[in-house]
Chains A and B, each alone.
Chain A
Amino acid sequence: MRPLPALGPTRRLTLPRTAERTLSNGLTVIAIRRPSVPLVELRLRIPMPSARLSPAHVARASLLSQTLLSGTSTMSTVDIAAELQRVGGALSVGADPDRLLVSGNALASGLPRILEILREVLTDATYPAPEVNTERDRLIDRIQVARSQPAHLARAALLRRIYGSHPYAVQTPGLAQVRSVTPRALRALHDERLHPAGSTLVIVGDVAPARALDAAEEALSAWDGGGKEVRQPATPPLVPGPLTLVDRPGSVQSSIRIALPAVPRTHEDHAALQLANLVFGGYFSSRWVENIREDKGYTYGPHSLIEHSTAGSVLLVSADVATEVTAPALVETLYELGRIATVPPGSDELEQARQYALGTLQLGMSTQSGLAGLASTYAGFGLRLDYLADHAARLARATREEVAEAAARYLAPARAVAVVLGDADRVESSVAAVLPSERGESPVDDE
């Protein structure tokens, strides 16, 4: 036998050179130097929460994200795209229940120009009716395609089940709500919510941080302050109950989705919970994946992860399994949750998970886009990149007892909320033999 080579000495996590400035209009700008390729990455995060569950707000925010780049008083959609391309750039816009995110990149020499165009759309987007009509139709088409995808339907059903009347319960708008969004409503939402105070611009790349801050200040100081701040209520606690079975007739797989409680990144249990989740099912070399994929062959890509939103965190367990093994896959999943919640992990499997968590922190920071995504996401939670170093230290020192306690507290199957989307007539009786179950409505019959 040839021995497995030992690892070399661990290299310390070093943070890249960073500078930060808050502009007079309240915009926070964070610039990070990573000159690996002659590009820059941009992420502008604008908070856009909703105070209450409002499908109309979801529809407006979704369509606004599709039309923010559809024209200003001096540029058309095509002009904006062409001007960005000239500097090797592009921008895209996405919305979720917490924020609007404008993402882009360009050749490093194009930073001033991409910032100017960003200013143009932020201060002068016109939401022209013909373009809004086109994008409204396209959004409806896209929602219809999403609704034909089991992953989307299963997520929608789970969100409705776990969030009830919280704004997070509906994250994709209904068709009727989208149809009723007018250009005027988009302009009103823009005026009310797209403001620099509370927003964060992250710039990462082959540019000196001080110069990037100056470029951002020059381009974006004209962006108007003001607007109103909206506070989102905290998410409700999970309420365990019967498994929700959603029918998708003819489905050749069942989509199993299980929600469990979790804590925010800054909570003292977070590092231990992350490690417990890894040992359970959070990476390939976990008990659950080795069991239901590499031993039983029930599924291809099972995964378990902690999803952090500004109003709360949740742990999501997901697997798509062949219809005929739906109940057995559920049994193995509950077994592995029960085992991690009641028996302390072995020290070998804990060390393996710890190395994985620490190593992937390094990998995540090694590209411009990775750094930009991390810095922007953390900023949305009031954190900075130095959180990485603190978190690494907490991961390094979490004890087996702490991981076992976190597993008992958060991964216990008694606390789970489960949804299965699949061919209900074929799986209902066997699923009901595993857990009390009830049929749920399809999550999209909102018309």
Chain B
Amino acid sequence: MPPKPKTPKPKTPRAPKIPSTRYPIERFTLDNGLRVVLAPDRSAPVIGVAVVYDVGIRSEPEGRTGFAHLFEHLMFQGSENLEKLAHFRHVQGSGGTFNGSTHLDYTDYYETLPANALERALFLEADRMRGPRLTEENLRNQVDVVKEEIRVNVLNRPYGGFPWLKLPPVMFDTFPNAHDGYGSFGDLESATVDDARAFFERYYAAGNAVLAVSGDFDVAEATGLVERHFGDVPARPAPQRPDFAEPDLTAERRHAYEDRLAPLPAVAAAWRVPDPIVDFTAYLPYVVLAEVLTDGDASRLMQRLVLRDRIATSVGGYIGFMGEPFEVRDPTALVLQAHLPPGGDVDKVLRTVDEECERIANDGLEPGELARTQARMAAHLLRDTDAVLGRALRMAVLEQQRGDAGLINDLPRLIGEVTEAEVVGAAASLRPSRRAAVEVVPGGAR
């Protein structure tokens, strides 16, 4: 593709100032250890309620792969005062929607509802924090449901689990970081009600949870309701979180596997990044670098791999195997992935990624490149928090992992303060010797 003639661009003012939000945030802790975050916003008659427990895929025991996620399903199967199906019916019958999801470092449960259902939502969450109904029948039913979830998301589709389930075992050596978080059918089938009771007892303590509520409510009234419904949840201490640290790679790791349904080759590569919690300042440049490399047609790898060299048909880049830079702890990674045209050369793609990182390391960024990337990142962050639920979830996890729900208001500014030198330094560290890569060999091109 020949470069297009450079023509005078319309005169535009300097890059706009990066705006931020000013959500008022109240935080307190109940006697039983439950941390609470309230963020009122009276602009629409809706609320978001999130309860986050500090347990995820990394904490599940060996021989029980997929258990954290299976247990998440069991938290919807009835609780102290609620029959099976009651939770769903009460949320939806109040005009709301619900879900839960299991991540590497946490598990969340949430609802978004019209504001007049606030007390009901708090009641429902408090009830299962006291204890879910763990029965053999519900367990067997949800093992079947989870197996269908794995079939529809992994086994019956091309690129299933790529790269989030396929890359960690290449990059990491220890069970917590390396294993399949969806779980093997064998492990899921051998899960017992006793396992579930022990898991709840250990990890689902009030002291191991954060409740966040955002939206249309009065803080004093909501504080009273939180105390009324959660105040008598029994106190149990939060378990000590194990150290999941692993050393950085010193030599490249590569793995290839055949995907019988995939029509095109694909590759993903990952490099370890600084500790997102302990060393946030050193970590943020990597979050920005991922966007410099892959956000939009003006990003480095889109320009080079897709538009110029045409050796990839799509690229993506993000931090954390589940793509959530502000909801993950160490160890984690910057992940780049590309799908290739038929017959594409994975080695060439990786070499070209290396070249582009070296080019940033040696020549720096182009004028305006950093500012425009930061402006777009700010828009993404603001958009994520426009929904009351997205806001509650992000604040709950920030509070849990950092003790700082208010960081939600600062993220656009902090992203904007990352310097070119820091991004250049991050790019220089993406060397092939620190890389883990996984390649999809297409078996589906029939």
Given contacts A88-B375, A252-B155, A359-B95, contact A148 B444 (CB under 8 A): yes
A/B interface sample: 21 pairs, CB < 8 A = A4-B123, A7-B120, A35-B43, A37-B21, A77-B297, A79-B298, A82-B372, A86-B15, A88-B375, A137-B341, A144-B445, A145-B262, A147-B263, A148-B444, A284-B88, A290-B85, A297-B143, A297-B145, A352-B89, A363-B113, A366-B388
Cβ A37 vs Cβ B158 within 8 A: no
Interface residues contributed by chain B, number (CB under 8 Å): 99
Q: How far is the CB of A198 from chain B (nearest CB, A)?
A: 29
Residues of B within 8 A of A232 (CB): none
A8 on interface, CB distance cutoff 8 Å: yes
Cβ A110 vs Cβ B16 within 8 A: yes
Bound complex: CA A299 to CA B145 (Å): 6
B313 on interface, CB distance cutoff 8 Å: yes
A365 on interface, CB distance cutoff 8 Å: yes
Cβ B148 vs Cβ A36 within 8 A: no
Interface residues contributed by chain A, number (CB under 8 Å): 94
Cβ B382 vs Cβ A141 within 8 A: no
Cβ A360 vs Cβ B97 within 8 A: yes
Bound complex: CA A249 to CA B127 (Å): 46
Cβ A2 vs Cβ B88 within 8 A: no
Cβ A5 vs Cβ B120 within 8 A: yes
Given contacts A78-B303, A128-B4, A290-B85, contact A141 B339 (CB under 8 A): yes
Mask, B25-44, CB within 8 Å of A = 1, is 00000000000000001011
Residues of B within 8 A of A284 (CB): 88, 92, 98
Q: Which residues of B contact A (CB under 8 A)?
A: 1-4, 7-10, 12, 15-19, 21, 41, 43-46, 80-81, 84-85, 88-90, 92-98, 112-120, 122-123, 127, 140-149, 151-152, 155-159, 216, 260-264, 295-299, 303, 306-307, 310, 313-314, 339, 341-342, 368, 371-373, 375-376, 378-379, 382-383, 385-388, 444-445
Residues of A within 8 A of B19 (CB): 38, 107-109
Cβ A320 vs Cβ B307 within 8 A: no
Cβ A39 vs Cβ B44 within 8 A: no
Cβ B264 vs Cβ A144 within 8 A: yes
Bound complex: CA A83 to CA B371 (Å): 11
Cβ B2 vs Cβ A130 within 8 A: yes
**Which among A7, A39, A113 has the greatest number of chain B C-beta atoms within 10 A?**
A7
Cβ B141 vs Cβ A295 within 8 A: yes
**Closest 10 CB pairs between A and B?**
A359-B95, A297-B144, A8-B116, A88-B379, A81-B297, A85-B372, A81-B298, A352-B93, A82-B298, A88-B375
Q: Which residues of A contact B (CB under 8 A)?
A: 1-2, 4-11, 14, 35-39, 69, 71, 73-90, 105-110, 113, 116, 128, 130-131, 134, 137-138, 141-142, 144-145, 147-151, 250-253, 283-285, 290, 293-301, 320-322, 351-352, 355-356, 358-360, 362-363, 365-370
Q: How far is the CB of A372 from chain B (nearest CB, A)?
A: 11
Cβ A252 vs Cβ B151 within 8 A: yes
18 A-B pairs besides A38-B382, A145-B263, A366-B388 with CB distance below 8 A are: A10-B114, A36-B43, A37-B385, A39-B379, A85-B295, A85-B372, A141-B342, A148-B262, A285-B93, A300-B151, A322-B151, A356-B92, A359-B94, A359-B95, A359-B96, A362-B114, A363-B114, A365-B44
